[in-house]
């Protein structure tokens, strides 16, 4: 990661503990980064922790007075698009649904950003997205094809349970063990 100005190396133990608590366990992806744009589209260099839990992408900020807080979150069910523009800026769009709509904009810095895209895409597929039609998949633009393979590249077995659990999480309800066991 040397020379990678977008991603910062050190995530403190207290930050890791906070992330594990809000994610309900170890996250799929965790990075401290410098955002490229604020919520109004203006250039910024704000530091954020981005964590991908089993069903949500969390944007976490360390506020001086109140400490760590989840500022925005997007559920995988609301993942609308991932776009890489001509200025090498990756934008991940979440539509309004589980929470407010939001966009996270990160400068394209390989290999960490590529890993982020691949992990987010795999999480969407692994939690039931592979059962949906291609038309319902998040729109992908400007990204290398190897980072966002088609649904045929992912195993289908067990996706019914994953989709059930993702939708239960989306509607803020715990999965019923008896229902999960029916699909297993």
pLDDT by residue for the chain (184 residues), tens only, comes to 334 445 556 788 888 999 999 998 999 999 888 766 666 667 666 788 899 998 899 999 888 888 898 988 888 888 999 999 887 888 899 988 767 788 888 878 767 888 889 899 988 888 877 777 777 788 888 888 888 877 666 666 666 777 777 777 877 777 777 665 655 5
Dihedral angle over CA of 52, 77, 61, 100, nearest 10:
180
Beta strands in 76-178 (DSSP E): 79-84, 89-94, 102-107, 139-141
Instruction: Please list the residues that pair with 183 across neighbouring strands.
Output: none
Q: What is the mean pLDDT of the chain?
A: 79
Question: In a 10 Å sphere around its CB, with 0-12 CB exposed, 13-18 middle and 19+ buried, how is residue 113 labelled?
Answer: buried
128: left (phi > 0), else alpha (psi -120 to 50), else beta?
left
């Amino acid at each position: 990661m040397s020379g990678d100005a977008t991603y910062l190396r050190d995530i403190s133990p207290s930050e890791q503990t906070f992330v594990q608590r809000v994610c309900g366990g170890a996250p799929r992806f965790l990075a401290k980064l410098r955002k490229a744009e604020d919520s109004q589209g203006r250039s910024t260099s704000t530091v954020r922790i981005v964590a991908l839990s089993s069903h949500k992408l969390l944007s976490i900020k360390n506020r001086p007075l109140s400490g760590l807080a989840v500022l925005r979150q997007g559920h995988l069910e609301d993942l609308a698009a991932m776009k890489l523009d001509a200025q090498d800026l990756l934008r991940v769009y979440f539509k309004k649904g589980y929470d407010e709509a939001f966009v996270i904009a990160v400068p394209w810095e390989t290999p960490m950003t590529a890993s982020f895209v691949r992990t987010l895409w795999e999480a969407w597929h692994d939690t039931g997205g592979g059962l949906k039609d291609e038309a319902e998949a998040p729109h992908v633009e400007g990204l290398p094809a190897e980072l966002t393979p088609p649904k045929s590249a992912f195993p289908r077995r067990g996706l019914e349970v994953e989709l059930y659990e993702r939708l239960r999480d989306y509607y803020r309800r715990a999965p019923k063990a008896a229902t999960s066991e029916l699909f297993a």
